[in-house]
Structure 1
Amino acid sequence: MPRTRNRLISAARRSMLQRAELYRRLDVAKAAFKPGALVDRGKYRVNAKIDDAAHAVRQEFRNNRLPIALAAVAGMAWLLREPIKEHAPRLTQKIQDMANAVADRLRPADETPADQASADDGDHDAPVENDDEAVQ
C-alpha cells in the first residue's frame, strides 16, 4: 500500500503543477487579448514596419541621391507652378535691374555707355540709338 500511496501523492503533485501551469498560461492568454495589449502589439508592429520602411528609404536615397533630388525639386516646382508664373516676370525684372546697376558701378566713371558704343564702332557721325528707339 505504501507504493500506491506514494504514487497517488506524486500524481496529486503533478496535477497541481499542471493546474498551476494551465492557470498561468490562461492568465497570460487573458492578458494578451485585453484591448490595451492588442493596441500595444499593433503599435509595436506598425512602428517596426515604419522603421523598416524608413531604413529602406534612407538606403535608396543614399544610393540614388541625384535622381531623387531632381525629382523632388521638379515636384516642388510643379506644386508651386501658379505662384511661379505670377511672380517670375517681376523677379526677372528685379534681377535685370540689379545686374544693370552692378554693371554701371563697375564701369569707369569717365566712360558712359554712349561713349563705349561710339568708340567701338569708330563711326562718330552716326546718331546713337537708345533701347527704346530701336527698330522693331
Structure 2
Amino acid sequence: MPRTRNRLIAAARRSMLQRAELHRRLDVAKAALKPGALVARGKYRIGEKVDDVAIAARQEFRNNRLPIALAAAAGVAWLLREPIKEHAPRVTRKIQELAHAITDRVRPADQTDADDGDYSEPVENDDEAVQ
C-alpha cells in the first residue's frame, strides 16, 4: 500500500503545481486583456511602426533630395496659389520699381562721364606716326 500512497501524494503534488501554473497563466492572460494593457500594447506597436516609417522616409529623402525638395516646393506653391495670385502683381511691381531705381542711380554717373558731347579736341588716327 505504501506505493499507491506515494503515487497518490506525487499525483496530488503534480496537480497542485499544474493548477498553480494554470492560475499564473490565467492571471497573465487577464492582465494582458485589460483595456489599459491593450491600449498600451497598441500604442507601443503604433510607435514602432511610426519609427519604421520615419526611418524609411529619412533614408528615401537622403537618397532623393532634389526630387523630393522640388515636389515639396511645388506642393507649398500649390497650397499658397490663391495668396500668390493676389499678391504677385504688387510684389513684381515693387521689384521692378526697385530695379529701375538702382539702374537710375548707376546709369547717370556712367553716362555723364562717358558722354560729354564736347568734340573740340582732334582725334588721332592710328596710322599717323607719333612725332
Which structure is larger by alpha-carbon Rg, 1 or 2? Answer: 2
Q: CA deviation at 1:103?
A: 2.4
Unaligned runs of 5+ in 1: 123-136
After TM superposition, the score normalised by the length of structure 2 is 0.78
Deviations 1:67-121 (A, max 9, x none): 0100010111111111111111111111112222222333464846xx97xx4xx
Residues 65-76 of structure 1: pairs in structure 2 closer than 5 A = 65-76=65-76
Q: Which one-letter code corresponds to 2:63 in the other structure?
A: N
After TM superposition, the score normalised by the length of structure 1 is 0.75
Partners of 1:100 and 1:110 in 2: CA distance: 15
Please identify runs of 4+ aligned residues in structure 1 that moved more than 6 A: none
Q: Report the number of matched residues.
A: 116
Give the 3-state SS of the residue equivalent to 1:14 in structure 2: helix
Instruction: Identify the range of structure 1 (19-28 vs 101-110) with the bigger mean alpha-carbon deviation.
Output: 101-110
Partners of 1:34 and 1:79 in 2: CA distance: 45
What residue is the counterpart of 1:8 in the other structure?
A: 8
Q: CA deviation at 1:38?
A: 1.1
What residue is the counterpart of 1:94 in the other structure?
A: 94
Residues 29-108 of structure 1: pairs in structure 2 closer than 5 A = 29-107=29-107
Q: Alignment RMSD, CA only?
A: 2.2
What residue is the counterpart of 1:132 in the other structure?
A: none
Partners of 2:110 and 2:68 in 1: CA distance: 52
Identity of aligned residues (%): 79
TM-aligned CA distance change 1:13 to 1:81, over 3 Å: same
TM-aligned CA distance change 1:110 to 1:62, over 3 Å: closer
Q: Which one has more relative contact order, counting CA pairs under 8 Å at least 6 apart?
A: 1
Q: CA deviation at 1:2?
A: 2.3
Partners of 1:90 and 1:50 in 2: CA distance: 44
